[in-house]
Structure 1
């Protein structure tokens, strides 16, 4: 970047079981509600796609019914995969008046619970198991994979569970991280003004329950920047990531340009390109949504690509451990 070297780490959660970071969340949610699940009635969850697929797989493994409540922006391939796992899919196409469908999806679930009170809703939007999965799993894993070096870490927000989990990890273990939240313009997840959104998997129609006071520092990325970053990465490296990852990469390039001291930036990339072939990677879809390309990589040149992490670092100690004789 303008002659100053820097390192951009991409933690590709698409290599997880079920193809996204939501596999971690789904397992944690299931473990939290398992004792309450009626095997004849099962569970229901509101999802933009990835969590629905992961929960469908977990439910199928335990032989219980699962219903995914999605909306028109959900990936067709993910919806098909949920059905292939014998999950039921309900698509809510009524806008919620806040730029999305989230509030309408939740209203549908609340009505289902009223009619069928034995149905279990893990509720990824408020369940502490959501951030806990990342405090104890994803965050320390990233710290070890980056060798424990001082790093600016970027995490996208939708429910806010992942970002809250990383925040709790930073508070408890004090790694040498600058943690930045990344949202999209039109999202209210971090306290922004809600409005029209076209990307799935990032942003929300309401503030995050896990981050009731918002989060700072944070960056807001336009959908044009997010999509352009996806296309740039694919062209330059052959790597394909999803729309929320594109937002993270666009933010990371801004961070790398903003200060020479930020020479190590890591993005937690939630999923891969396979769920966005009919949207982000479709020229027809981009034209229909008015997403003209922008130069997100101005002044950036990729000089080397490395497909592995350095040797894992020893996990940092918590303040309690440090005070123990």
Structure 2
């Protein structure tokens, strides 16, 4: 699998130099970090799959697209159980690849749709027991691919100096994989889990959430005891970070990546840490109708957070990493066009 690239930002944070690395998983298969997860899950379940029946998964979007691509490549049916917060572009892409989309439109009472998506999935399994569920929420193949591939890549690209590595949490598989690598390989990392307000992924009580791809209605099965240190970010901070990054660097990332950048800037502003790295799960192409649309932000009341306060960008360094992505949606991030007034 080709490595994904890293962009290095040389910053001035209240006059002090700092470095922020962004590993852009939008360059990976199917345009997100879930491309890695999908390939690992497929390798695990392939021997059990009936080619005429196929696989089913609950997804907020990115894994659905990735599994739809994998299923199409192997000519097997795929069913994605999604919800109204899933990007229209992702839903359409799953369907374009031949996937069947079941939409759960009733909230689960825990701030999202996850619990009801899982209930709908289990109904499908009961109706057709030969369906195979890769189960991104509990399958050890999910964290294992990040222990084996993603974490060593990041270490090789950013060097051996002490670095705070920030990972977004939803299922918890990526963070669990990085934690296993940290324990085994002992890089000079501080591993920080980043969640959003209203999420129970790392513990606590679930509540309303706005952004897909980060947070969960229940505790992560991969991280049953949580993770420390961890940071919670508000939707306002995540969106503000997305806009700040696009305006100052031309790099446009998704909402969960915005949460990581907001947390990293806070860390660089308030501690003596001088280097931070964010594993950015996806790009802006899945958020043009939401995060990057002023009318959507106004409707959601997302204003008032200035995460770039006191931070200047002195230089942007692009580190190449293998051939361009194979999927047409996995294109180079760029500053989105402004919405007409």
Q: Structure 1 CA distance, aligned partners of 2:85 and 2:45?
A: 28
Poorly superposed stretches of 4+, deviation over 3 Å: none
2:239 aligns with 227
Structure 1 counterpart of 2:64, from 46, 52, 56: 52
1:159 aligns with 171
SS of 2:131's equivalent in the other structure is: coil
1:257 aligns with 2:269: yes
Q: Structure 2 CA distance, aligned partners of 1:82 and 1:28?
A: 19
1:291 aligns with 302
1:301 aligns with 2:312: yes
| TM-score in terms of structure 2 length | 0.89
Alignment of 1:175-186 (within 5 A): 175-186=187-198
1:278 aligns with 2:289: yes
8 Å contact from structure 1 (residues 134, 166) kept in 2: yes
Larger relative contact order (C-alpha < 8 A, sep ≥ 6)? 2
2:77 aligns with 65
Q: Structure 2 CA distance, aligned partners of 1:219 and 1:169?
A: 20
Q: Structure 2 CA distance, aligned partners of 1:232 and 1:193?
A: 30
* Runs (5+) with no aligned partner, structure 1: 311-325
1:199 aligns with 211
1:27 aligns with 2:39: yes
Structure 2 counterpart of 1:43, from 32, 55, 58: 55
Q: Report how many aligned residue pairs link the two structures.
A: 309
| TM-score in terms of structure 1 length | 0.94
- Which deviates further from its counterpart, 272-281 or 294-303? 294-303
Q: Structure 2 CA distance, aligned partners of 1:46 and 1:23?
A: 15
> Deviation at 1:293?
3.7
1:320 aligns with none
1:125 aligns with 2:137: yes
Q: Structure 2 CA distance, aligned partners of 1:114 and 1:309?
A: 47
Deviations 1:9-52 (A, max 9, x none): 00000011100000000000000000000000000000010000
Q: Structure 1 CA distance, aligned partners of 2:79 and 2:73?
A: 15
Residues 263 and 309 (structure 1), Cα distance of their counterparts in 2 relative to 1, 3 Å cut? farther
2:8 aligns with none
Q: Structure 1 CA distance, aligned partners of 2:155 and 2:202?
A: 24
SS of 1:303's equivalent in the other structure is: strand
Q: Structure 1 CA distance, aligned partners of 2:150 and 2:285?
A: 22
Q: Structure 2 CA distance, aligned partners of 1:68 and 1:111?
A: 13
2:147 aligns with 135
Q: Structure 2 CA distance, aligned partners of 1:302 and 1:39?
A: 51
1:216 aligns with 228
Structure 2 counterpart of 1:239, from 210, 235, 251: 251
> Deviation at 1:148?
2.4
More strand per residue:
2
* Runs (5+) with no aligned partner, structure 2: 1-12, 322-341
8 Å contact from structure 1 (residues 145, 309) kept in 2: no
RMSD of equivalent CA atoms: 1.0
